[in-house]
Amino acid sequence: MISIANNLTQVRTAIANACQGAHRPADKVQLLAVSKTRNSAQLLELYRAGQTHFGENYLQEALDKIAALSQYPLIWHFIGPIQSNKTRAIAENFSWVHSVDRLKIARRLAEQRPAHLPPLNICIQVNISVEANKAGCCIEQTADLISQIAELPNLKLRGLMAIPKATKEPLEQQQAFAALAGLLSQCQQQHPSLDTLSMGMSADIVPAIEQGATIVRVGTALFGPRSYPNTPS
Protein backbone atom coordinates (compact mmCIF):
# COMPACT_ATOMS: atom_id res chain seq x y z
CA MET A 1 0.00 0.00 0.00
CA ILE A 2 1.24 3.47 -0.90
CA SER A 3 1.38 5.71 2.13
CA ILE A 4 0.26 9.30 2.40
CA ALA A 5 3.82 10.26 3.34
CA ASN A 6 5.13 8.69 0.11
CA ASN A 7 2.50 10.51 -1.87
CA LEU A 8 3.62 13.78 -0.29
CA THR A 9 7.21 13.12 -1.33
CA GLN A 10 6.07 12.41 -4.88
CA VAL A 11 3.92 15.50 -5.11
CA ARG A 12 6.71 17.66 -3.74
CA THR A 13 9.09 16.19 -6.28
CA ALA A 14 6.61 16.86 -9.07
CA ILE A 15 6.29 20.48 -7.91
CA ALA A 16 10.07 20.90 -7.70
CA ASN A 17 10.53 19.44 -11.18
CA ALA A 18 7.81 21.64 -12.64
CA CYS A 19 9.42 24.69 -11.04
CA GLN A 20 12.77 23.75 -12.47
CA GLY A 21 11.24 23.20 -15.91
CA ALA A 22 9.59 26.62 -15.69
CA HIS A 23 12.76 28.31 -14.39
CA ARG A 24 10.98 29.33 -11.24
CA PRO A 25 12.36 29.07 -7.69
CA ALA A 26 10.80 26.05 -5.95
CA ASP A 27 9.92 28.04 -2.85
CA LYS A 28 7.50 30.20 -4.85
CA VAL A 29 4.94 27.40 -5.12
CA GLN A 30 3.11 26.35 -2.01
CA LEU A 31 1.32 23.02 -1.69
CA LEU A 32 -2.20 23.19 -0.32
CA ALA A 33 -3.43 19.73 0.71
CA VAL A 34 -7.12 19.49 -0.19
CA SER A 35 -8.56 17.34 2.55
CA LYS A 36 -12.31 17.35 1.90
CA THR A 37 -13.86 13.93 2.68
CA ARG A 38 -10.66 12.79 4.48
CA ASN A 39 -10.73 12.07 8.19
CA SER A 40 -8.64 13.68 10.91
CA ALA A 41 -6.33 10.66 11.14
CA GLN A 42 -5.43 11.04 7.47
CA LEU A 43 -4.76 14.74 7.92
CA LEU A 44 -2.61 14.03 10.94
CA GLU A 45 -0.60 11.50 8.96
CA LEU A 46 0.09 14.14 6.33
CA TYR A 47 0.90 16.74 8.97
CA ARG A 48 3.41 14.38 10.59
CA ALA A 49 5.01 13.96 7.17
CA GLY A 50 5.51 17.74 7.04
CA GLN A 51 2.38 19.31 5.50
CA THR A 52 0.82 22.31 7.29
CA HIS A 53 -1.59 23.97 4.84
CA PHE A 54 -4.96 22.22 4.44
CA GLY A 55 -7.89 23.20 2.20
CA GLU A 56 -11.51 22.34 2.99
CA ASN A 57 -14.71 22.77 0.94
CA TYR A 58 -17.53 21.96 3.34
CA LEU A 59 -17.87 24.06 6.45
CA GLN A 60 -19.29 21.63 8.98
CA GLU A 61 -16.92 18.88 7.98
CA ALA A 62 -14.04 21.35 8.23
CA LEU A 63 -15.07 22.63 11.67
CA ASP A 64 -15.13 19.09 13.02
CA LYS A 65 -11.56 18.50 11.82
CA ILE A 66 -10.35 21.91 12.98
CA ALA A 67 -11.62 21.08 16.48
CA ALA A 68 -10.21 17.56 16.44
CA LEU A 69 -6.77 18.80 15.34
CA SER A 70 -6.67 22.04 17.34
CA GLN A 71 -3.52 21.04 19.23
CA TYR A 72 -1.54 21.04 15.95
CA PRO A 73 -0.44 24.24 14.18
CA LEU A 74 -2.33 23.55 10.95
CA ILE A 75 -3.18 26.42 8.62
CA TRP A 76 -6.71 26.20 7.25
CA HIS A 77 -7.87 27.44 3.85
CA PHE A 78 -11.53 27.57 2.86
CA ILE A 79 -11.88 26.71 -0.85
CA GLY A 80 -15.57 25.81 -1.28
CA PRO A 81 -18.70 27.75 -2.25
CA ILE A 82 -19.73 30.26 0.44
CA GLN A 83 -23.29 30.99 1.55
CA SER A 84 -23.84 34.19 3.53
CA ASN A 85 -24.89 32.35 6.67
CA LYS A 86 -21.52 30.56 6.76
CA THR A 87 -19.27 33.61 6.74
CA ARG A 88 -18.98 34.04 10.52
CA ALA A 89 -17.63 30.55 11.13
CA ILE A 90 -15.28 30.93 8.17
CA ALA A 91 -14.01 34.30 9.44
CA GLU A 92 -13.43 32.81 12.88
CA ASN A 93 -11.74 29.55 11.93
CA PHE A 94 -9.70 29.96 8.75
CA SER A 95 -6.52 31.80 7.73
CA TRP A 96 -7.31 31.91 4.02
CA VAL A 97 -10.41 32.00 1.83
CA HIS A 98 -9.89 31.22 -1.88
CA SER A 99 -13.49 31.30 -3.02
CA VAL A 100 -14.73 34.87 -2.55
CA ASP A 101 -16.67 35.81 -5.66
CA ARG A 102 -18.89 38.69 -4.58
CA LEU A 103 -18.68 41.83 -2.50
CA LYS A 104 -21.41 40.84 -0.06
CA ILE A 105 -19.41 37.84 1.12
CA ALA A 106 -16.21 39.88 1.46
CA ARG A 107 -18.03 42.54 3.50
CA ARG A 108 -19.38 39.95 5.90
CA LEU A 109 -15.99 38.29 6.29
CA ALA A 110 -14.45 41.72 7.01
CA GLU A 111 -17.08 42.54 9.63
CA GLN A 112 -16.92 39.13 11.25
CA ARG A 113 -13.16 38.58 11.36
CA PRO A 114 -12.29 38.59 15.08
CA ALA A 115 -10.05 41.49 16.09
CA HIS A 116 -7.53 39.25 17.85
CA LEU A 117 -6.74 37.35 14.65
CA PRO A 118 -4.49 38.57 11.81
CA PRO A 119 -6.25 39.76 8.65
CA LEU A 120 -7.98 37.02 6.70
CA ASN A 121 -6.12 36.23 3.46
CA ILE A 122 -8.47 36.48 0.48
CA CYS A 123 -8.37 35.25 -3.10
CA ILE A 124 -11.07 36.14 -5.59
CA GLN A 125 -12.42 33.11 -7.41
CA VAL A 126 -12.75 33.82 -11.13
CA ASN A 127 -14.91 31.87 -13.57
CA ILE A 128 -11.99 31.75 -15.97
CA SER A 129 -13.44 29.22 -18.42
CA VAL A 130 -16.69 31.22 -18.64
CA GLU A 131 -18.94 28.32 -17.70
CA ALA A 132 -22.63 28.95 -17.07
CA ASN A 133 -23.79 28.32 -13.50
CA LYS A 134 -20.25 28.00 -12.22
CA ALA A 135 -18.92 29.70 -9.13
CA GLY A 136 -16.60 32.63 -9.58
CA CYS A 137 -16.67 36.25 -10.45
CA CYS A 138 -16.81 36.95 -14.20
CA ILE A 139 -13.58 38.08 -15.78
CA GLU A 140 -14.82 41.57 -16.68
CA GLN A 141 -15.84 42.34 -13.09
CA THR A 142 -12.73 41.09 -11.37
CA ALA A 143 -10.79 44.37 -11.34
CA ASP A 144 -13.74 46.26 -9.81
CA LEU A 145 -14.33 43.60 -7.20
CA ILE A 146 -10.64 43.71 -6.28
CA SER A 147 -10.74 47.48 -5.84
CA GLN A 148 -13.82 47.27 -3.61
CA ILE A 149 -12.47 44.45 -1.47
CA ALA A 150 -9.11 46.18 -1.10
CA GLU A 151 -10.89 48.91 0.90
CA LEU A 152 -12.29 46.53 3.50
CA PRO A 153 -10.71 46.19 6.96
CA ASN A 154 -9.51 42.91 8.49
CA LEU A 155 -8.86 41.32 5.10
CA LYS A 156 -5.61 40.92 3.21
CA LEU A 157 -6.32 40.64 -0.47
CA ARG A 158 -3.80 38.19 -1.93
CA GLY A 159 -4.81 37.34 -5.50
CA LEU A 160 -6.92 35.11 -7.73
CA MET A 161 -8.13 31.53 -7.73
CA ALA A 162 -9.75 29.48 -10.48
CA ILE A 163 -11.00 26.00 -11.24
CA PRO A 164 -10.77 25.86 -15.03
CA LYS A 165 -13.08 23.56 -16.94
CA ALA A 166 -11.77 20.00 -16.67
CA THR A 167 -9.93 19.04 -19.85
CA LYS A 168 -7.09 16.76 -20.82
CA GLU A 169 -6.24 19.02 -23.74
CA PRO A 170 -2.87 20.60 -22.86
CA LEU A 171 -3.46 23.72 -24.91
CA GLU A 172 -6.81 24.42 -23.23
CA GLN A 173 -5.29 23.88 -19.77
CA GLN A 174 -2.45 26.20 -20.61
CA GLN A 175 -4.76 28.90 -21.98
CA ALA A 176 -7.01 28.91 -18.92
CA PHE A 177 -4.07 29.22 -16.52
CA ALA A 178 -2.43 31.86 -18.71
CA ALA A 179 -5.70 33.82 -18.72
CA LEU A 180 -5.82 33.85 -14.91
CA ALA A 181 -2.16 34.87 -14.73
CA GLY A 182 -2.81 37.68 -17.23
CA LEU A 183 -5.75 38.90 -15.20
CA LEU A 184 -3.61 38.96 -12.06
CA SER A 185 -0.93 41.04 -13.77
CA GLN A 186 -3.60 43.52 -14.88
CA CYS A 187 -4.90 43.78 -11.32
CA GLN A 188 -1.36 44.18 -10.00
CA GLN A 189 -1.03 47.48 -11.86
CA GLN A 190 -3.53 49.00 -9.41
CA HIS A 191 -2.74 46.66 -6.51
CA PRO A 192 0.95 45.73 -6.60
CA SER A 193 0.79 43.81 -3.33
CA LEU A 194 -1.24 40.99 -4.90
CA ASP A 195 1.02 37.95 -4.92
CA THR A 196 -1.11 34.82 -5.19
CA LEU A 197 -2.33 32.65 -8.05
CA SER A 198 -4.22 29.67 -6.64
CA MET A 199 -4.52 27.29 -9.58
CA GLY A 200 -3.73 23.69 -10.48
CA MET A 201 -5.05 20.45 -8.96
CA SER A 202 -3.75 16.84 -8.99
CA ALA A 203 -4.23 16.40 -12.73
CA ASP A 204 -2.74 19.68 -13.88
CA ILE A 205 -0.14 21.00 -11.47
CA VAL A 206 2.55 21.08 -14.15
CA PRO A 207 0.80 23.44 -16.61
CA ALA A 208 -0.43 25.53 -13.66
CA ILE A 209 3.11 25.98 -12.37
CA GLU A 210 4.35 26.74 -15.89
CA GLN A 211 1.84 29.58 -16.05
CA GLY A 212 2.75 31.02 -12.65
CA ALA A 213 0.72 29.25 -9.94
CA THR A 214 1.89 30.17 -6.45
CA ILE A 215 -0.49 27.78 -4.66
CA VAL A 216 -1.46 24.39 -6.09
CA ARG A 217 -4.46 22.67 -4.50
CA VAL A 218 -3.91 18.92 -4.42
CA GLY A 219 -6.23 16.25 -3.02
CA THR A 220 -6.25 12.98 -4.91
CA ALA A 221 -2.50 12.80 -5.53
CA LEU A 222 -1.91 13.01 -1.77
CA PHE A 223 -4.74 10.98 -0.29
CA GLY A 224 -5.81 8.72 -3.18
CA PRO A 225 -9.20 8.69 -4.89
CA ARG A 226 -12.11 10.13 -2.91
CA SER A 227 -14.63 7.50 -1.92
CA TYR A 228 -17.69 9.57 -2.64
CA PRO A 229 -18.15 11.94 -5.54
CA ASN A 230 -17.84 15.65 -5.00
CA THR A 231 -16.94 17.66 -7.99
CA PRO A 232 -15.41 21.03 -7.28
CA SER A 233 -17.86 23.79 -8.09
Ligand X SMILES: *Cc1c(COP(=O)(O)O)cnc(C)c1O
Report the interface residues with ligand X, using CB under 6 A.
Answer: 34, 36, 57, 79, 163, 201-203, 217-221, 232
Q: Whole-number minimum distance, CB 220 to ligand X, in Å?
A: 3
Question: What values do phi and psi take at 167, rounded to 5?
Answer: -155, 150
| SS3 (DSSP) at 33 | strand
Q: Whole-number minimum distance, CB 214 to ligand X, in Å?
A: 14
Q: Whole-number minimum distance, CB 167 to ligand X, in Å?
A: 13
Which residue number is nearest to ligand X in terms of Cβ? Answer: 219
**Cross-strand partners of 72:** none
User: DSSP secondary-structure letter at 27?
Assistant: G
Size of the chain in residues:
233
Question: What values do phi and psi take at 87, rounded to 5?
Answer: -65, -35
Burial track 85-120 (b if 16+ CB lie within 10 A, e otherwise): ebbebbbebbebbbbbbbeebbbbbbeebeeeeeeb
Closest CA to 162 of 48, 94, 79: 79
Of 9 and 147, which has the nearer Cβ to ligand X?
A: 9
Of 108 and 217, which has the nearer Cβ to ligand X?
A: 217
Of 36 and 158, which has the nearer Cβ to ligand X?
A: 36
Of 58 and 68, which has the nearer Cβ to ligand X?
A: 58
Q: Whole-number minimum distance, CB 104 to ligand X, in Å?
A: 20
User: DSSP secondary-structure letter at 196?
Assistant: E
Of 8 and 221, which has the nearer Cβ to ligand X?
A: 221
Whether 190 and 206 have beta carbons less than 8 Å apart is answered as no
Q: Which residues contact 232 (CB under 8 A, 6 or more apart)?
A: 57, 163, 201
Of 74 and 215, which has the nearer Cβ to ligand X?
A: 215
Q: Whole-number minimum distance, CB 217 to ligand X, in Å?
A: 4
Q: Whole-number minimum distance, CB 222 to ligand X, in Å?
A: 8
